Structure 1
């Protein structure tokens, strides 16, 4: 499941995320967020050569439990997890390299 350009309005539970096998990039943000929109081409470019990496865009906001469980405070926040373990995160990435730096060899 490579790059997705739509936000999941129904977020998975933390237990579901923790149970995902392999490498996953969680992207927390909102469709109206200017920082999130600016980061989209960077995320797409960084993930393009890695179609095996699961990408889940999650519409975040106050009271959304998944974002709070990862202590997300600013958007976009990208978190790389492998088999339920956080590997790295990027907050408001401004370059393709900032996003690609999240991705160890998948």
Structure 2
């Protein structure tokens, strides 16, 4: 999925996420969220050199089971996974270095 696309309204299931192989970033948010919008350049800058990382932008909100299964409370929340297991988490990043640090853990 392109890093420049809108948040997907049809996310994978938790079982599908748990079965992912390799590095993955799940980005939970919404298209209308100001925090999400401001974080996009930071996220793009941090993930651009990591073409091997699967990046899924997932629309979140009340009743959305995938976000609830990861206990997402604020947007954007980035969950860094290696082989389906959470390795790091970044909530409302305001600096690219925190994203880069988390991404380095799944390289």
TM-score (ref. length: structure 1): 0.95
TM-score (ref. length: structure 2): 0.94
**Preserved CA contact (<8 Å) 1:2 1:51:** no
Does 1:85 pair with 2:95? Answer: no
Matched residues, number: 106
5+ long unaligned stretches in structure 1: none
Does 1:63 pair with 2:63? Answer: yes
Following the alignment from structure 2 to structure 1, what is the Cα–Cα distance between the partners of residues 31 and 38? Answer: 11
After the TM superposition, list the runs of 4 or more consecutive aligned residues in structure 1 that deviate by more than 6 angstroms: none
1:94 aligned residue: 94
Deviation string 1:38-84 (CA, Å, 9 cap, x unpaired) is 00000000001110001000000000000000000000000001111
Following the alignment from structure 1 to structure 2, what is the Cα–Cα distance between the partners of residues 75 and 33? Answer: 7
Over the residues paired in the alignment, what is the CA RMSD in angstroms?
1.2
1:3 aligned residue: 3
